[in-house]
Chains A and B, each alone.
Chain A
Amino acid sequence: MKTVRLTIDKKVVEVQAGKTILDAARIAGIHIPTLCHHPDLCVAGNCRVCVVEQVGVRTLQASCAVPVADGMEIITNSAKVQQARRHILELLLSEHRSDCVNCYKNNHCELQDLAAKYIFTPVTLIPLPALQHYTIDSSSPSIIKDDSKCIRCQRCVRTCTQLQHVTALTVSHKGHEQKISTFMDKLLNDVVCTNCGQCVNRCPTGALTERNYIQEVWDALLDPNTHVVVQTAPAVRVALGEELGFDVGERVTGKMVSALKTLGFDSVLDTDFTADLTIMEEGTELLTRLKAVLTEKADAGTLLPMTTSCSPGWIKFIEHKFPDYLTNVSSCKSPQQMFGALAKTYYARKRKLNPAKIVSVSIMPCTAKKYEADRPEMRSSGFKDVDYVLTTRELARMIKMAGIDFMSLPDQEHDSLMGESSGAAVIFGATGGVMEAALRTAYELVTGREVPFANLDIKPVRGMEGVREANITIEGCLPEWSFLEGVELKLAVAHGLTNAWEVMQAVKQGKAEFHFIEVMACPGGCLGGGGQPIPTNSEIRLKRAQAIYEEDAGKHIRKSHENPEVLALYKDFLEAPMSHKSHELLHTYYIERHCN
C-alpha cells in the first residue's frame, strides 16, 4: 500500500494514500471538529466545520473531503481556521432553533457540544425568518421530524439512501429554501419510511428524534390500578450501559433488570423468551414450507425462500418495495408482538390478572417497534398487545430521571413466567443470530443431533459482512424428515436494508436460490438499531456483537427448544407450534403498500 507523508500542525504524519486530511489528523491524535461527517456514510463536505488551512492554497480545505498528498502542510488551528470555524457555527446556530433546555436532545447534541467549545462571545446574527413559522412532523409513531432544528448536514438523507435504500428522505429545493423533505413534503407516516430510525441515530441535533413514550410509561408505573409488565429485547442489555457510564460492549443484563424493578415495573420479563418461542414457530414454519415444496410439489416461489419477520423495519420495507414477496415472509410475529399477545392472555390467566389492567411495555433497541406495536393487526389479545415501546435511550433517561445509581445496582434475574431464555434467543440481537438460533433447533429436530459446529457456534453466519451466504447439507435425518435427506439448505443473512434490497433483487431476478433468508433492517442487526445509544459506528457495533456472543456462551441453555418455560407454554396453553392457538396469537399477515 502506497503511503503519503504530510505535516499536520508541524507533526509529520505518514498515512495510506487515499485517506483524507481528517483521517490523517485523527491518526496523529489531532482533533478536528466535524458535523456532516459520519464514519458509516460517504463524504459530504457540506457543513464546512472541519475546514483547515493548507499552506499554499488560497481557500480553506474541508478536511473530511480532501485526500492527503505528499508534502501537504496542514494547519488545523490558525487564526483563519478559528474564525471560519466560529463563523460557520454561528451561521448554523442562526438557522437552528436553539431552544436547548426544552430540546429532547439537550446534552446529546453535537451542535450544542461544538457551540460549547467554540462560541464564547454572544452571537449577533439574526435568527433566520424560517424559524418563525416551522411545523413539526409528528405523524409517525416512531420518529419526530423537526425542521427548525435541522442544520442540513444530510446525514439522514445519506443514511436513508445509502445504508437503507429507502430514500424516504431527500434534499429538496435550493438556496434558502433547501431542506430535508419527503416526497412532496408528505408526512413521514405517509411515505416509504420504514421507521428504522437509523437517521435518528445519526442526526447530530434534535431534528430527528424518536417519539418518546416516557410520560405514558411513568403514568402507568405510578397508577396503582395497573399491572405493568416489561419485556427487554436482547440487544438492549449490551448497549444500555453506554448511556449510563459503562464502556462500549459491557453487558448490564442484571443491572438492567434491577433498574426496571426499581422503576416500579410489576414484572420484569424477557423478549428473549419469545425469541425462543419464535424459533419454535418459525423453525416449524420453515420445515413445513420445505416439506410442502419438496414432497407436495407446492408452488415453490410463494413459499421459498422464507424470510425472517422479526425486524419491523424489514417488514415495512418489503411491504413497500417487494410486495410480490409478502407470502415469502414468515407469518410469525416478532418476539415483541408474540410477547405482547401472550402477556394479556397466557400471562394474565396464569397470574389471574384482568388483561384490561395490564400495561405492556417493551424496551427495544428499535424505533420501528413503536410503529409495529401500533399496527392494527397487533391486537390479538383483544387489547393493544404492546402498549408502549421505549428505546434503549428512553430507558436510560428514565433511569437517570429516577435518580438510580445504575453502576452500583446489584445484578438480578428476570422474573419467571416468560422470563427464561436460551443463548439462542440472546443472539437474536446480532445479525445472523436468528439464523443461527433457528439452525440450532431445526437441525436437531430433523436429525436428532446437535448442529455440527464446535460449541454450537455457527460461525459461518456470524460477522459483519453485509450479505453472508452459507450452505448446510442435511444428513442422517430422522424417519419423519426423510424428505430432507441430502438436501443442501441454502441460507443468506443480510443486515442493513441496502443489503436486504440486494438479496431480494437477486432473488427476484432469479440470480440466487435460497431456502431461508434472515434480514435485519439495521446495520449489525438489532444491536445497531435505531433506538440504541448514539453514536454508532462499526467498531461500536462489533463490540456490542462480541458482548452478545459472550452472553450466549455463558447461558446454561443454548437452544430454544430446551427453554423450559417455552415447553411449559406449549404444554399448558398453545399445544404445539403452528397450532390453531399459535396462529391466533403468534402469527400475522402483511399488507402491500405504495412505493413512495
Chain B
Amino acid sequence: MEKTVLEEIIYRQGAQRDRLLPILQDVVEQQNFLTEGDMLHIANLLQMSAAEVYGTASFYSFLPLNRKGKYMIRLCKSIIAKMKGSDQVLAAITDQLGIKPGETTADGVFSLELVNDIGWSDREPAMLINDKVFTDLDPVKVTHILTNYLKQASTQAFVTNLSTN
C-alpha cells in the first residue's frame, strides 16, 4: 500500500499499540491483504516490533498475509454447508475461475478461501465476497454472481484504461 495512504489510515485511527487491529482491518478493507512493507511501516509508526505485528495479524483469518485478488471469495465449509451442497458450489467456482481454495486468479481479480461458519446455517451454501454476503447458493447461482463480478471488474478496468490514456 502507498505509504501516504497507510499513514492516513494510521493518522485517522491513532498511532497507538491498541489501535493495531483497526489499522490492519482498514488496510485489508482497502487492498484485501497485508504486505511485509505495510506491517513494517505500521510497526515503525506504532513503535512496536514488526514481529509482534506479524504475530497478531497471523492470528486472524480475515487478515491475509499474502497477495489476494480484488474480490475475496470466502465460501463456508461448515458441516451444514457441506450437507447443503457447498462442494458442488466450490466445484462451480473452481470451474469458472480456474482456482482452488487458497489461490488467486492470474489476473488478480479473485481469490478463493474456504472458511469456518459464517453465520448462515439457515441458508447454506453461503459465501462472502469482500463485505457482501450471498446465500442459498447452487452451482448456477454462484456462476451468475461471479459473472456479474467479472463484468464489473472488466468495466472498471476499461474505465481505468480510459482515464489513464
Contacts and interface: CB of A to CB of B under 8 A. Distances in A.
Contacts, number: 51
B95 interface: no
A98 interface: no
A596 B50 contact: yes
B49 A170 contact: yes
Given A172-B54, A181-B54, A595 B44 contact: yes
A334 B148 CA distance: 67
Interface in A165-215: 166-174, 181-184, 191-192
B50 A183 contact: yes
A289 to B, nearest CB: 29
A526 to B, nearest CB: 25
Nearest to A165: B49
A191 B59 contact: no
Q: Which of A181, A191, A596 has the most CB of B within 10 A?
A: A596
Interface string A152-173: 0000000001000011111111
Interface string B91-129: 000000000000000000000000000000000000000
B40 A596 contact: yes
Q: Which of B40, B43, B51, B54 has the most CB of A within 10 A?
A: B51
B52 interface: yes
Contacts of A169: 51
Given A168-B51, A172-B58, 6 more contacts: A170-B55, A173-B58, A183-B49, A184-B65, A192-B50, A595-B43
Interface of A: 161, 166-174, 181-184, 191-192, 595-596
Contact of B55 (A171, A191, A595): A171
Contact of A183 (B44, B54, B59): B54
8 contacts: A167-B49, A167-B51, A181-B51, A181-B54, A183-B54, A192-B50, A192-B51, A596-B51
Contacts of A181: 51, 54-55, 58
Interface in B45-65: 49-55, 58-59, 65
B60 to A, nearest CB: 8
Interface string B20-59: 0000000000000000100110011000011111110011
B24 to A, nearest CB: 14
Interface residues of B, number: 15
A170 B54 contact: yes
B55 A184 contact: no
B156 to A, nearest CB: 31
Contacts of A184: 36, 39, 54, 65
Contacts of B53: 183
A174 B44 CA distance: 25
Q: Which of B40, B44, B50, B52 has the most CB of A within 10 A?
A: B50
Contacts of B51: 167-170, 181-183, 191-192, 596
Interface residues of B, dominant DSSP: helix
The 3 tightest CB contacts between A and B, nearest first, are A167-B49, A170-B55, A596-B50
A174 B59 contact: yes
A188 B111 CA distance: 31
A173 to B, nearest CB: 5
A595 B43 CA distance: 9
Nearest to B61: A174
Nearest to A182: B51
Contacts of A167: 49, 51-52
Nearest to B57: A172
Contact of A172 (B36, B44, B49, B55): B55
A174 B59 CA distance: 5
A192 B49 contact: yes
Contacts of A595: 43-44, 50
A594 B80 CA distance: 49
B47 to A, nearest CB: 10
Contacts of B65: 184
Q: Which of A161, A170, A192 has the most CB of B within 10 A?
A: A170
Contacts of B55: 170-172, 181
Q: Which of A161, A166, A168, A172 has the most CB of B within 10 A?
A: A172
B44 A170 contact: no
Contacts of A173: 58-59
A596 B43 contact: yes
Nearest to A191: B51
A505 to B, nearest CB: 10
B67 to A, nearest CB: 13
A168 B49 CA distance: 8
B150 to A, nearest CB: 32
